[in-house]
Amino acid sequence: MPLCWVLLIAFDVCLMAFSFAQDSNGVVNNHSAQSVRTEIPAPNDVTEDTSRFEAIDVFVDSGNQRLAAWQLEVKSETNDVQIVGIEGGEHPAFAEPPYYDQRAMNSNRVIIAAFSTGDDLPSGKSRVARIHVQLRGPGATAWLSELTTAAAGDGTKIPAEMSVAKATPI
């Protein structure tokens, strides 16, 4: 079995452990997944066969709790969209690109996840990833995204919200 599959399986097991972690009272936290639909404007004055590239920023807001792990799905509801690259986030805990299946990037959908075992963890709204996409044709792009799970450093599942937006130049 290739090393990348072993790492992905180990990471999924860790995320499952985070998802089913119990709080100090022994009660399982049952925060439901959050789905968000976002429409990102784009030029209408290009032809149908014109290719263009954009970057989409992905944010997770953990409020006042420190974010140690997260998993989410981002999918374009618009035709002629291909995910071509994924970068890490702005906080040092998530600066490395998140884990993802490279073969899934050949479509308009990707599941990404990351975790940090460090002590320096973000709280509040933080950009956790940047997704690079190739688009064809005019018009806005509709994105459906779902935050599957978020966890604190001790593995406790925490409430969090996610959002996506067109990337701003750095």
So what's the pLDDT on residue 108? 84
Task: Between 163 and 16, name the one with better pLDDT.
Answer: 163
User: Per the structure block, which two tokens stand in for 94?
Assistant: 């998530």
So what's the pLDDT on residue 131? 95
Q: Which amino acid is at 65?
A: Q
CA 92 from chain center: how many Å?
16
So what's the pLDDT on residue 88? 97
Q: Find the mean pLDDT for residues 147-159.
A: 95
Q: What is the 3-state secondary structure (H, E, C) of 28-93?
A: ECCCCCEEEEEEECCCCCCCCCCEEEEEEEEEEECCCCCCCEEEEEEEECCCCEEEEEEECCCCHH
Q: Which fold has domain 3-24+33-166?
A: Immunoglobulin-like (2.60.40)
Q: Judge residue 65's burial from the number of C-beta atoms within 10 Å of its C-beta, 0-12 exposed, 13-18 middle, 19 or more buried.
A: middle
pLDDT at residue 15 tops 60: no
